[in-house]
């Protein structure tokens, strides 16, 4: 309950309401008792004094009083007023404190002062008992309100908390997740559940559309790619001039790459990466050699110094299509964005780096370039082509494989992309494996 401020607010409202109502009620009782006490007793004492002055004293009798009442008069020496009562105002006064309590009633007639003193300890004791009961009632009412508030708040909040829990659960996004609204009555919470159903439904549809789109595209591309591959095979059997054969081999390589990419997209869409691995497995060095062979010519063509260095041995086995795509994208970027100097592919234990002597990536862009369709501010000006998708694909593959990718600026200028494999992704990690 303490985790839910709304429930606590209900309890606080309950308690405040009770404090207000029963507080006003209790004060009212106290005030009424006081008022009645004053009115009744002062009337009674006024009548008694009247009787003494107009009946007893006139007839020469001593005043007829009960044991608790005493009569004083300023003009009668035998009833002289004691000094302690001299300061009393005219009318009714309560004398509290000391070991006993008294009422005093003063009346002045023709310059003479008459005083009645009546003991009232017993009544005062009843009064105190009454006030104690009122106070106890007040405290009980507040405690009761607190307890009741807690129970009510729990009851009111229970469906809301349940709904929040259900919405938070991930499986709500599964296509077959049952709707939430039928579980709730047709009240505010029920409407909220219906609203969630609507929003989750839209989200589910959007996810499903995206998934279908990716798998449809990948699936449908496989057939034309097969046609290209078979046609190339047939062409290879024909007698071709060396330059034409070279062109044909380029088409074959490109269609192979496309087939691999289509395979990746299909796997990404199915979110079953690693589970089914039709492409077999490869080692880091093996893949690096393949990529080196693939990019060497283009690098040389641009006048770049391209090297593959081995800083540490790695015995892990990886999905060749995925590792190849990550490496190829980083190398393609290095080639694309480096005008002069070098590009290095450096193999480490448990990962690799791609370094170049290009313009580097400003620190504020180092996170955003991994997002789809985001291109660097410098490159947008220099290089027209490119969609800004390469690194986002690399990042998604790394996330699926449990690898990490990071970019750093090199002290000498240029950038360094570093991929680290996680231990789980390598089924047989070598001893001393370090990632």
Ligand X SMILES: Nc1ncnc2c1ncn2[C@@H]1O[C@H](COP(=O)(O)OP(=O)(O)OP(=O)(O)O)[C@@H](O)[C@H]1O
- Tell me the window of 3-11, 118-126, 177-185, 390-398 that interacts with ligand X (CB under 6 A): 390-398
Q: Could you tell me the two tokens for 403?
A: 């690898």
Coil, strand or helix: which one is 69? strand
Q: Which is nearer to ligand X, 247 or 377 (CB)?
A: 377
Report which DSSP code applies to 179: P
In this structure, are residues 319 and 279 in contact, taking their beta carbons and an 8 Å threshold?
yes
Distance between CA atoms of residues 342 and 326, nearest Å: 20
Distance between CA atoms of residues 43 and 241, nearest Å: 136
Residues 19-38 that bind ligand X (CB under 6 A): none
| Residue 217 Cβ vs Mg ion, minimum distance, rounded to whole Å | 20
Q: Which is nearer to ligand X, 154 or 341 (CB)?
A: 341
State the pairing for strand pair 102-109/112-119: antiparallel
Nearest alpha carbon to residue 401 among 289, 309, 324 = 324
Residue among 88, 248, 252, 389 that touches ligand X (CB under 6 A)? 389
Q: Which is nearer to Mg ion, 14 or 370 (CB)?
A: 370
- Specify burial of residue 250 (Cβ count, 10 A radius: 0-12, 13-18, 19+): exposed
| Residue 373 Cβ vs ligand X, minimum distance, rounded to whole Å | 8
Q: Residue 104 is inside which H or E element, if any?
A: strand 102-109
Q: Could you tell me the two tokens for 99?
A: 């070991």
Q: Which is nearer to ligand X, 144 or 359 (CB)?
A: 359
| Residue 210 Cβ vs Mg ion, minimum distance, rounded to whole Å | 22
| Residue 330 Cβ vs Mg ion, minimum distance, rounded to whole Å | 9
Q: Cα-flanking dihedrals φ and ψ of residue 171, to 5°?
A: -70, -5
Residue among 325, 356, 398, 435 that touches ligand X (CB under 6 A)? 356
Residue among 290, 342, 375, 396 that touches ligand X (CB under 6 A)? 375
Coil, strand or helix: which one is 249? helix
Distance between CA atoms of residues 417 and 353, nearest Å: 6
Distance between CA atoms of residues 39 and 36, nearest Å: 5
- Tell me the window of 201-209, 236-244, 369-377, 423-431 that interacts with ligand X (CB under 6 A): 369-377
Distance between CA atoms of residues 321 and 339, nearest Å: 28
Residues 399-418 that bind ligand X (CB under 6 A): 415
Residue among 149, 316, 320, 390 that touches Mg ion (CB under 5 A)? 390
Q: Which is nearer to Mg ion, 149 or 390 (CB)?
A: 390
| Residue 334 Cβ vs ligand X, minimum distance, rounded to whole Å | 5
Beta bridge mates, 310 = 347
Distance between CA atoms of residues 197 and 202, nearest Å: 9
Q: Which is nearer to Mg ion, 333 or 426 (CB)?
A: 333
Q: Could you tell me the two tokens for 314?
A: 């790695």
Tokens 């839910």 correspond to 4
Q: Which is nearer to ligand X, 104 or 334 (CB)?
A: 334
Q: Does 379 bind ligand X (CB under 6 A)?
A: yes
Q: Which is nearer to Mg ion, 358 or 390 (CB)?
A: 390
Tell me the residue number closest to Mg ion, measured at CB.
Answer: 390
- Tell me the window of 36-44, 71-79, 253-261, 379-387 that interacts with ligand X (CB under 6 A): 379-387
| Residue 417 Cβ vs Mg ion, minimum distance, rounded to whole Å | 11
Beta bridge mates, 407 = 417
Residues 15, 17, 22, 23, CA torsion sign? positive
Q: Does 359 bind ligand X (CB under 6 A)?
A: yes
Q: Could you tell me the two tokens for 307?
A: 């090297």
* Interface pattern 323-352 for ligand X (x via CB under 6 A): ----------xx--x---------------
Q: For 224, left (φ over 0), alpha (ψ -120 to 50), or beta? A: alpha
Q: Which is nearer to Mg ion, 106 or 334 (CB)?
A: 334
Residues 322-351 that bind Mg ion (CB under 5 A): 333
388 binding partner (options Mg ion, ligand X, none; Cβ < 5 to 8 Å by kind): ligand X
| Residue 337 Cβ vs Mg ion, minimum distance, rounded to whole Å | 8
Q: Does 355 bind ligand X (CB under 6 A)?
A: no
List residues near ligand X by CB under 6 A.
333-334, 337, 356, 358-359, 361, 369, 375-376, 379, 386-392, 415
List residues near Mg ion by CB under 5 A.
333, 390
């Amino acid at each position: 309950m303490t985790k839910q401020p709304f429930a606590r607010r209900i309890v606080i409202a309950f308690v405040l309401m009770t404090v207000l109502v029963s507080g006003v009620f209790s004060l009212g009782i106290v005030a009424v008792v006081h008022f009645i006490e004053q009115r009744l007793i002062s009337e009674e004492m006024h009548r008694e004094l009247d009787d003494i002055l107009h009946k007893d004293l006139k007839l020469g009798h001593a005043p007829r009083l009960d044991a608790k009442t005493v009569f004083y008069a300023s003009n009668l020496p035998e009833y002289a007023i004691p000094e302690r009562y001299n300061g009393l105002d005219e009318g009714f006064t309560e004398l509290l404190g000391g070991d006993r309590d008294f009422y005093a009633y003063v009346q002045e007639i023709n310059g003479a002062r008459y005083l009645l003193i009546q003991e009232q300890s017993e009544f005062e004791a009843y009064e105190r008992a009454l006030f104690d009961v009122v106070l106890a009632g007040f405290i009980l009412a507040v405690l009761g309100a607190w307890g009741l508030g807690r129970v009510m708040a729990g009851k009111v909040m229970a469906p809301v908390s349940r709904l929040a829990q259900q919405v938070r659960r991930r499986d709500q996004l599964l296509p077959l997740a049952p709707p939430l609204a039928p579980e709730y009555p047709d009240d505010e919470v029920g409407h909220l559940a219906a609203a969630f159903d609507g929003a989750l439904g839209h989200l589910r549809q959007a996810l499903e559309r995206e998934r279908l789109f990716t798998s449809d595209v990948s699936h449908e591309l496989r057939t034309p790619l097969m046609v290209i591959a078979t046609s190339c095979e047939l062409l290879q059997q024909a007698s071709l001039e060396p330059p034409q054969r070279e062109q044909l081999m380029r088409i074959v390589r490109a269609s192979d790459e496309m087939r691999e990419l289509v395979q990746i997209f299909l796997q990404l869409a199915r979110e079953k990466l690693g589970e089914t691995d039709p492409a077999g497995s490869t080692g880091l060095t093996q893949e690096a050699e393949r990529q080196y062979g693939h990019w060497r010519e283009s690098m040389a063509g641009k006048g770049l110094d391209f090297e593959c260095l081995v800083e540490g041995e790695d015995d892990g086995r990886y999905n060749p299509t995925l590792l190849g795509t990550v490496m190829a994208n980083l190398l393609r970027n290095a080639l694309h964005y480096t005008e002069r100097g070098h590009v290095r592919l450096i193999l480490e234990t448990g990962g690799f780096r791609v370094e170049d002597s290009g313009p580097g990536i400003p620190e504020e862009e180092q996170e955003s370039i991994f997002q789809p369709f985001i291109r660097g501010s410098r490159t947008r000006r220099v290089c027209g082509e490119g969609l800004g998708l390469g690194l986002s694909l690399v990042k998604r593959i790394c996330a699926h494989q449990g690898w990490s990718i990071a970019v750093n600026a090199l002290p000498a200028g240029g950038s360094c992309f570093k991929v680290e494999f996680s231990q789980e992704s390598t089924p047989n990690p070598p001893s001393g494996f370090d990632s």
